[in-house]
Structure 1
């Protein structure tokens, strides 16, 4: 008897993740903003992650309120269609504002800074009573695509029941803005050096997914936020689909073309 045909892989949903970086205000060194997600969430529950999330149907930018490289440039860097690239950048800005209060937008001709109505606008966005393009128009703000640079593109392996095609973009936190922990999706959110986060993982104090760990290792090669942005501008971005081998509850994850790298996760 022939074996039944294998199920078709789930189509990955588009998503955006933001590597929010800064220079440590107390000493020289690079820091990145991370959130420990609430245990029991449908995706990455209990994991420590960068801010981000899925693309919404409302993430359609107004070209008149877009400052910086055009969507086609992001599309070329990420090997994505122009419309999807525009949505990915918009989702990145929206998720960063929703999850940590940092808004990569500004008045025309001005630089980003503290916004008096930020708390109320954020609540409207989180409560789905407003869209980011709508808020930008209402507040006379421009989406600052020039503050974001593509870093990587990760695609969940085909065997996973929940899959994402995620654009990783990097941005320096604007002067006058503070990343916070005022989100219901995380139990902890703060600035870490890449080395601190990786040491926490090695000690068993933090749970990191393979893309997060690999990205922290890459960020850890740089000493300052400026160095990270310079590296991002020069990176070649090829989509990464990890390979997974499962033995019982342990999943061993490897990366094509990186023979010495492996990551283990214990599944429930």
Structure 2
């Protein structure tokens, strides 16, 4: 089945290209039995309007990392148990709304939104929070020390926001997708993807221990880099880039209505390569 923009709604399935295979050694010799448990995670497609159209913020993960080393990804990571802290001052759709969109409980939904905000700040320096429910921080660099403390897990998001007197802006996020790591993998994540626009006045950077480089790029150009062997992409990233390439602006990306279905790919050997098969 194909995927495309239908009115303002994106259909559910996009076929993966034949060339999208995993690196040698990506598939373990044996499938864990029982499959490894999944860990909740959040990832954010951070977008802006560039001179030639929509751009997305991408990072190349450091080689040798336990998960997705060397891959080009969006900012994101696993949920911290403290992300479910109910003391976070919150503006926008409540956890119950997010729970309905992502098909999970309200506590998990709250943690996912908080993880999305926290990970985006840790990995890109972009802070989706403000001094009030209608404001956004104009210069997040003032909180660099707190950013480092969050990354080292010395500080929780709730404690950071409370100390800085900031409100989490859940209304700046949009639900995008839900991908689960294949059962063949020894390390698995149940990742919810979000979209968010770069706030006015803020800058995104690659100052994180988990990325070797970072760049703003048009989605179609990122896919072209993958086709030319300059990038390594996992299926969720390739699909998201292909979807974004059909949208012309940040306004379109935030307005599109997503059907968020849980996607659990399967890994299969095809000669010397490992292919990803979608249900």
Is 1:123 the equivalent of 2:145? Answer: no
Gaps of 5+ in 2: 1-30
Check 1:159–1:143 CA distance in 2 against 1; reply closer, same or farther (3 A cut). Answer: same
Deviation of the 1:63 alpha carbon: 5.0
Check 1:64–1:49 CA distance in 2 against 1; reply closer, same or farther (3 A cut). Answer: closer
**Aligned twin of 2:239:** 214
Total equivalences in the alignment: 248
**Deviation readout 1:164-190 (Å, 9 max, x if unpaired):** 100000100110110001111111101
Is 1:183 the equivalent of 2:214? Answer: no
Check 1:131–1:115 CA distance in 2 against 1; reply closer, same or farther (3 A cut). Answer: same
Distance in 2 of aligned mates of 1:243 and 1:101: 34
Is 1:204 the equivalent of 2:229? Answer: yes
Mapped contact 2:124–2:205 kept (Cα < 8 A): yes
Higher relative contact order (CA 8 A, sep 6+): 2
**Aligned twin of 1:135:** 160
Deviates more, 1:170-179 or 1:119-128: 119-128
**Aligned twin of 1:238:** 261
Distance in 2 of aligned mates of 1:120 and 1:222: 36
Deviation of the 1:109 alpha carbon: 4.1
Determine which of 247, 253, 256 is the counterpart of 2:270. 247
Determine which of 16, 34, 37 is the counterpart of 1:8. 34
**Aligned twin of 1:79:** 103
Determine which of 31, 50, 56 is the counterpart of 1:32. 56
**Aligned twin of 1:60:** 84
Check 1:107–1:202 CA distance in 2 against 1; reply closer, same or farther (3 A cut). Answer: same
Is 1:23 the equivalent of 2:49? Answer: yes
The residue matched to 1:39 in structure 2 has which SS? coil
Structure-1-length-normalised TM-score: 0.89
Distance in 1 of aligned mates of 2:32 and 2:258: 37
The residue matched to 1:77 in structure 2 has which SS? helix
Structure-2-length-normalised TM-score: 0.85
**Aligned twin of 1:262:** none
Determine which of 145, 150, 171 is the counterpart of 1:146. 171
Determine which of 182, 188, 201 is the counterpart of 1:157. 182
